[in-house]
């Protein structure tokens, strides 16, 4: 038998796939475009300082790419096989667990590895122009490779232990937050409370801390080299351990709950149902089933699984700890800044979960064929879309209220404890604008994520692609804006006054809300073409009979 046969097959398939070459090309061109934009935006700093800042900025982007790769590439690869019932067929042969795990790892990670390899030459441009040493470049390259390995391995581990797509993606994100974000957060909390840095061993598992230790200034400090190499080794050994556990666990766990060859994610276990959720109106559940059957279908499962709930609870606890420290101490400015970043992270995670939930139901029904069966019933398309939108509103209500409460608490802290936070009247006005504008952006983003998510669920072939497309269309403009603003502030290329800073915040919120309105209108127009149009357009030609004549007027989609 050939050694690692699935690995060999998947590498041959990937070598012939056009997307493999397109991914590499777009990664290189995108990184080059970001480098040119950042280089043109800053002309005040010296060449050495500018190149060093560009190197760090591009390194941070590459680090984020490596961290998020596991969520969208490997988190659902094994769980999808278990849902479709094909995992058992693999184990009817003489394949071992490591054959399947390594084969799936190769199949899903080729594009991400090529993307990282395409970024590294652009990352080396500051090295050629001066300001960055060769040792610093290679240390950062090692950290990026180890971070990508960790993210992909964590996705494989989570995918081997769960069945549902949203649980796999949320569990991978939870693992990344715990491994990459929690150690530096705990170290900062120890410094804020006790005014002394905890030992470096606390942050060794974090790739973000390994990235910081790879830079020249920390590396040449006291214990800097030791912290870097120990952190890098910890990340690599942790990644290998996750892969080994996944390979050992997979042959024993693939049947899962309600397993069997016909297992499907669309089948809901009794433990996953939420009998008190959403579908019970004043007239009782039976009337809701008769009047709005798709609302009942989309509301059968819990709105948040255990990984997503633990993730949100962890972030809320971190935010609450720093907020309490900031208002309880006489000088809580540093703790309030960390609290601000924790609140922003909480908002972004909440919007990510909203995108996952918005794309889940239609994506599952489309892949399982349930949507085709529904289109053959007397149920109108407007009823299906309306029921899905109503279910999404009900599911996201609690999450939106939590995020709203976070912003209101921040506003209350800025108004009640200005002395503890070292704020003047102008600072209070700026923070109030930031928090209240965040509330407006919160509701606008959620509305856009729900509509665009439904549209992308009909267009994308995979659930993770639908989630990625939804986030890219709705959140890319705000993310690019805050990245450019932080970069320009760090390089002293843009130092606005307090009045100008208020204008910057207003423009940022207006750009985000305008983007929401545009993509929301585009998604409504896309959904207005009808479900049959999207289902038939993605199927083989022998199923073109499902395509219905386009109506003279688009299907009405509730805003």
Q: Report pLDDT digits (tens) over 201-240.
A: 888 899 998 998 899 888 888 888 898 999 999 999 999 9
pTM of this prediction? Answer: 0.81
pLDDT for the residue 447: 94
pLDDT in tens, 116-164: 988 898 888 888 888 788 899 999 999 999 999 999 999 999 988 888 8
Q: What span, in angstroms and rounded, lies between the C-alpha atoms of 213 and 211? A: 5
Sign of CA dihedral 168, 170, 175, 180: positive
Residue 44 has pLDDT above 70, yes or no: no
pLDDT for the residue 523: 93
pLDDT for the residue 529: 87
pLDDT for the residue 276: 36
pLDDT for the residue 63: 92
Question: Predicted confidence band at 41 (pLDDT cuts at 50, 70, 90)?
Answer: low
Region 424-429 average pLDDT: 85
pLDDT for the residue 550: 44
Quote the DSSP letter at residue 205.
T
Q: What span, in angstroms and rounded, lies between the C-alpha atoms of 40 and 52? A: 15
Residue 262 has pLDDT above 80, yes or no: no
pLDDT for the residue 94: 72
pLDDT in tens, 427-476: 888 889 899 999 999 999 999 999 999 999 998 888 888 998 999 999 98
pLDDT for the residue 559: 41
pLDDT for the residue 103: 82
Judge whether 338 and 188 are in contact, CB under 8 Å: yes
Among 93-97, 125-129, 351-355, the least confident range: 93-97
- Give the burial string for 162-175 (b: 16+ CB within 10 Å, else e): bbbbbbbbbbbbbb
Q: What span, in angstroms and rounded, lies between the C-alpha atoms of 11 and 133? A: 35
Among 69-83, 463-477, 544-558, the least confident range: 544-558
Between CA 247 and CA 252, with CA 248 as vertex, the angle to 5 degrees is 110
Tell me how crowded residue 237 is: count the other CB atoms within 10 A of its CB.
11
Among 313-327, 435-449, 486-500, the least confident range: 486-500
pLDDT for the residue 445: 94
Question: Predicted confidence band at 494 (pLDDT cuts at 50, 70, 90)?
Answer: low
Q: What residues are paired with 301 via a beta bridge? A: 273
Instruction: Of 395, 420, 366, 63, give the one whose Cα is nearest residue 215.
Output: 63
Side-chain-side CA neighbours of 432 within 13 Å: the count stands at 12
Q: What residues are paired with 273 via a beta bridge? A: 301
Judge whether 214 and 139 are in contact, CB under 8 Å: yes
- Pick the more confident residue, 29 or 319: 319
């Amino acid at each position: 038998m050939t050694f690692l046969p699935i690995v060999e097959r998947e590498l041959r398939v990937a070598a012939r796939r056009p997307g493999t070459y397109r991914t590499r090309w777009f990664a290189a061109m995108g990184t080059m475009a970001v480098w040119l934009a950042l280089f043109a935006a800053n002309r005040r700093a010296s060449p050495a300082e500018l190149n060093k800042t560009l190197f760090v900025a591009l390194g941070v982007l590459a680090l984020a790419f490596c961290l998020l790769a596991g969520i969208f590439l490997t988190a659902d690869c094994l769980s999808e096989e278990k849902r479709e019932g094909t995992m058992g067929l693999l184990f009817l042969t003489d394949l071992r667990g490591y054959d399947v795990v390594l084969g799936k790892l190769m199949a899903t990670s080729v594009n991400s590895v090529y993307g990282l390899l395409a970024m590294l030459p652009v990352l080396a441009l500051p090295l050629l122009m001066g300001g960055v040493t060769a040792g610093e470049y290679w240390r950062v390259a090692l950290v990026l490779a180890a971070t990508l390995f960790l993210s992909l391995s964590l996705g494989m581990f989570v995918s081997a232990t769960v069945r549902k797509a949203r649980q796999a993606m949320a569990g991978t994100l939870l693992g990344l937050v715990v491994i990459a974000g929690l150690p530096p957060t705990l170290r900062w909390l120890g410094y804020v409370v006790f005014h002394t840095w905890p030992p470096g061993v606390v942050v060794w598992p974090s790739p973000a801390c390994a990235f910081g230790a790879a830079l020249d200034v920390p590396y040449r400090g006291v214990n800097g080299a030791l912290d870097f190499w120990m952190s890098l080794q910890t990340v690599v050994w942790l990644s290998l351990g996750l892969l080994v556990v996944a390979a050992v666990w997979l042959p024993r766990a693939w049947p899962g709950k309600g397993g069997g060859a016909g297992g499907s994610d669309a089948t809901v276990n009794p433990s996953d149902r939420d009998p008190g959720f959403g579908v019970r109106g004043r007239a009782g559940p039976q009337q809701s089933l008769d009047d709005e059957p798709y609302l009942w279908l989309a509301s059968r499962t819990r709105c948040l699984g255990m990984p997503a709930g633990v993730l949100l609870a962890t972030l809320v606890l971190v935010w609450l700890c720093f907020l309490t420290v900031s208002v309880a101490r006489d000088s809580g400015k540093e703790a309030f800044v960390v609290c601000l970043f924790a609140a922003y992270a909480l908002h972004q995670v909440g919007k990510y979960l909203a995108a996952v939930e918005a794309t889940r139901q239609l994506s599952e029904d489309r892949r399982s064929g349930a949507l085709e069966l529904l289109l053959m019933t007397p149920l109108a398309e407007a009823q299906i879309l309306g029921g899905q939108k109503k279910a999404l509103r009900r599911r996201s209500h609690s999450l939106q209220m939590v995020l709203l409460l976070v912003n209101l608490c921040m506003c209350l802290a800025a108004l009640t404890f200005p002395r503890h936070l070292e704020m003047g009247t102008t600072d209070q006005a700026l923070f109030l604008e930031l928090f209240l504008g965040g509330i407006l952006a919160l509701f606008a983003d959620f509305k856009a994520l729900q509509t665009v998510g439904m549209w992308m669920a009909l267009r994308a072939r995979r659930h993770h692609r639908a989630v990625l497309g939804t986030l890219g269309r709705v959140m890319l403009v705000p993310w690019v804006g805050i990245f450019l603003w932080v970069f320009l502030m760090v390089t002293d290329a843009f130092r606005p006054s307090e009045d100008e800073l208020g204008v910057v915040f207003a423009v940022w919120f207006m750009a985000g809300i305008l983007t929401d309105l545009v993509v929301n209108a585009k998604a409504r127009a896309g959904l207005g073409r009808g479900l049959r149009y999207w289902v038939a357009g993605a199927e083989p030609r022998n199923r073109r009979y499902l395509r219905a004549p386009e109506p003279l007027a688009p299907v009405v989609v509730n805003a």
